Amino acid sequence: MFGLDKKDTTLLIIVAILTMFAPFILNPFPEGSGLAQFNAGYPDLMQRFVIFGIFAIGFNILFGLTGYLSFGHAAFLGVGSYSAVWMFKLLSMNILPAIILSVIIAGVFALVIGYVSLRRTGIYFSILTLAFAQMSFALAYSVLTPITNGETGLQVTLDDPRILGQSVTADGSIPVTNLFGLEMRSAFNLEIGPWLFTFSAGYYVCAIVMLLAFYLSIRIFRSPFGLMLRAIKSNQQRLNYTGLNPKPYTLAAFVISGMYAGLAGGLMAAMDPLAGAERMQWTASGEVVLMTILGGVGTLIGPVLGAGMIKYFENIFSKINDNVLHGWFSFLPDGLEDTVVFILHPFVGKGWHLTLGIIFMLVVTFLPGGLVEGGQRIARMFKRKPQDDDAQAGKTEPAE
């Protein structure tokens, strides 16, 4: 189905089901309960899950298949965001032209940076990509202020021409982003008992794009092109001895990866038409590296899991403050309650990075294959071994 084998088709269907039913899956606890703090089924966070999933999927095509570690992929994320916002300012608030322009501009930008950076390998390649990203950040923050609006960030205004769309709505406000009239901020709330589920148009647009991006990544992984990229990662010198030039393949992988990042940046601007230079900082590039390693480098679904986990910690654990902790442990005696809160305080709220760092350290130490390897180990624990059953069935007992 879809040109995929049975295993990949099953994986794609599982990802599609999880994505489409995310408002239910991510809201397991009733509204108003103490555990509702851990619910993640609201539109803004779900959009971040899938958008950064796209970002990580694209990065994994480069890092996971070729082994080239880029520390500058945030540059393409930022370029995609700026391109989308300029499309909103000049053309219309329809997100489709903005996303297309984001992918194209990011691809051209990646072609230029990749052509220079791929002249080196290993740590030198990583440093070159980091340098380009930091130069892009500096240019967007200061020199290119007429284009990027500097530290304030680029955003749509009432004075924008929008030659194919409305500049001002009937009530005098700025039009909202839409897809042929379907507003990205429109949402439908469903109440089932104490549970509240929100279905956002913006989330489902991002989710469908993520599924398409995920499908494309599967086709790339299983294609002869993907096999060539694996050969580059395995032993590039031996590949040179065969007479094949790996540079066009690595450059193509770099451009495809950059286009994925531009797509993610365009979707970010489509959900919230604002672009700032902070999206190009080295911390954003490091974040996608963590997502990929945490989920599983070179795996199909790993980067999506890693992106979801990091964004979950960033948005959920960061909101757990001392008041929440005191509410959870209020049943304890006062002295013991204060002690427990004191112990947990450094790991939540502003200290969520510490918890994530510990998890990342444990994953790298005990699960080199990331969360995917952890899932595979758990599956093997519960999976019956047919060969053992067959051996037991074929075993003969000696005659009495």
Res 390: pLDDT: 53
Res 84: pLDDT: 95
What mean pLDDT do residues 3-14 have? 89
Q: Domain range spanning residue 262? A: 44-282
**How many domains does the chain fold into?**
1
Asked whether the whole model's pTM tops 0.85, one would answer: yes
pLDDT at 217 over 90: yes
* Amino acid of residue 230: R
Inside any domain, residue 369: no
In tens, the pLDDT along 24-71 reads: 999 988 887 777 888 888 889 999 999 999 999 999 999 999 999 999
Inside any domain, residue 377: no
Inside any domain, residue 361: no
In tens, the pLDDT along 367-398 reads: 888 889 888 888 888 876 555 555 555 555 54
In tens, the pLDDT along 63-111 reads: 999 999 999 999 999 999 999 999 999 999 999 999 999 999 999 999 9
Inside any domain, residue 388: no
Of all residues in the chain, the percent with pLDDT exceeding 90 is 50
In tens, the pLDDT along 269-315 reads: 999 998 988 888 888 898 999 999 999 998 989 999 999 999 988 88
Inside any domain, residue 355: no
Inside any domain, residue 372: no
pLDDT, the chain, mean = 88
Inside any domain, residue 27: no
pLDDT at 400 over 50: no
